[in-house]
Amino acid sequence: MSKIYLLAGISGVGKSSVATRALEIIDDLKAKSDLQRSLDAVLGKGNVEPEQVENIRRLKIQRVNFGEVLFEIAKKKNAASSKEDLRKLPASKIIELQKLAVSKIKKMSGTVLVDMHLTVITPQGIVAGLPVSCAKSLAPEIIILLEAPPQEVFKRRVKDKKEGDHPAGITLDALTEYMALDRSAAVCIATVAGIRIRVVQNTNVDEAANEVVRSLS
């Protein structure tokens, strides 16, 4: 039976970097001997509590991107030929695809770390990246909401030209409002669906990654 963890946040907050680093930390913990881990703890190098280490070493993690799973399903059903097409679909069709994506992820084995957006801005308005009904069905162990200072996210998005989540264009004020909306969505899902939530600030990738690792344990 799988255990599902959500790593959520808007584009530019650093989900990919943090998730990649978290998996590297887990691989490193698995590779180290008990003696080396004990020495690290004595020297203050251990970032994970000793009682959590064994749990982490047993993890068999799959990392998936919810949007990618959704898009692959949409392509097979001839509902979309590009990711931009997804934003133009009727809300009812998006929900149908989200339910199918949830069903596919639930069938995965081991520990599944799902990278996703909780809110998506479309030409017709804001769409929930994970409606409450889907959240209840997916039943994740926790929602790890990754955040970063709006100014940093703004710089990253301008640099990477990640404007897809904000069709009207990127402004710092709009981005700040969008981040607040994303947190509200996380709280709403967590409250209504009975799911825990943990907010992780990504001001340092290593520190944020260690927070994610601790959440997985």
Q: What is the pLDDT of residues 136-169, one digit of tens each?
A: 999 999 999 999 999 999 988 877 765 444 444 6
| Cα(120)–Cα(126) distance, integer angstroms | 6
Residue 143's SS3 state is strand
Distances (CA, A) of 141 to 41, 144, 162, 174, 190: 28, 10, 29, 31, 11
In angstroms, what is the C-alpha Rg of the chain? 18
pLDDT tens, N- to C-terminus, the chain (217 residues): 689 999 999 989 999 999 999 999 888 887 766 655 554 554 345 566 666 667 777 778 899 999 999 999 999 999 999 988 998 899 899 999 999 999 999 999 889 999 999 998 887 888 899 999 999 999 999 999 999 999 999 988 877 765 444 444 678 898 899 999 999 999 999 999 999 999 999 999 999 999 999 898 7
* Domain map (residue ranges) of the chain: 3-216
Please give the Cα distance from 66 to 47 (Å, whole number): 28
Q: Tell me: domain 3-216, CATH 3.30.1330.90, correct?
A: no
